Amino acid sequence: MGTVGRNRFEWTWIATAVAASLGFVWLAWALSRGELTVFDETLRARLHSFATPSLTLLMQFATLLGSQPAVLAIAAGSAFVFFRKGRRDAGTLLLISIGGAELLENVLKVQFHRQRPEPFFDSVLPGSYSFPSGHALLAVCLYGILAWILSAGRRDLAKWLIWIGAAALVEVVGVSRVYLGVHHPTDVIGGYLVAIAWITTLRRVRGRIGNA
């Protein structure tokens, strides 16, 4: 990649980080004014209208993939593999991503202290606040960083398949939180925006991992 192309690529990452940050700020402002209540309730009701026993089981499984225990276990196991293979930069990047996500989740939930909605299917509400969704944030930071690491140096088709798989997994985790009734849709959107801002910032700071 030439100098001009490389600079354009880097500016794209910077613009993405800024856009996600501004999007989160706007979302938080709109929520503080109660402007998205109708959006949240309408989408929650719409998703709930598709409920079936089999779909509920699928959503319950999907939500586990974004849970803190699962994310920490997958991140720790993956980092261990990377370190064993001599890919220290990759392992470190993954751990920094998840560590930062955990910190951001806790700080932001306390800052906004949004109450959770009424759950569906007798789901047990977590004891933490609702905004932003920790499942959405952690899922993007884990599966997004893994996609970045695993797609580095691969052919275009393999890259696309890896990124499509990661995106689909992140989306179904987010949808599962709304479907089960334990989050407002804007909680999930907020989690996505925070995660995108965080990992694109990491991308800019860490640079290309190459064959790390």
Reported as a single tens digit per residue, the pLDDT across 42-57 is 999 999 999 999 999 9
Q: pLDDT digit string (tens) for 159-212? A: 999 999 999 999 999 999 999 999 999 999 999 999 999 999 887 665 544 444
Among residues 48, 113, 135, 184, the one annotated as catalytic is 135
- Looking up tokens 């996609």 gives 147
Neighbours of 43 (CB within 10 A): 16
**Local structure of 124: helix, strand or coil:** coil
Cα Rg of the chain, angstroms: 18
Q: How far apart are the first and last CA of the chain?
A: 19
Calpha distance 29→31 (Å, rounded): 5
Calpha distance 211→50 (Å, rounded): 44
Q: Where are the domains of the chain?
A: 3-206
Residues 6+ apart with CB under 8 A from 209: 89, 90, 93, 148, 149, 152
User: For residue 71, how far is the Cα from the chain centroid?
Assistant: 11
Q: Is 135 among the residues known to form the active site?
A: yes
Question: 175-202 burial, b for 16+ CB within 10 Å, e for fewer?
Answer: bbbbbbbbbbbbbbbbbbbbbbbbbbbb
Q: What is the pTM of this model?
A: 0.90
- Higher pLDDT: 133 or 128? It is 133
Tokens of 157: 């088709």
Q: Is 113 among the residues known to form the active site?
A: no
Among residues 48, 113, 183, 184, the one annotated as catalytic is 183
Determine the average pLDDT of the residues in 101-117: 94
- The closest of 108, 204, 95, 190 to 142, measured between CA atoms, is 95
Tokens of 192: 């996505």
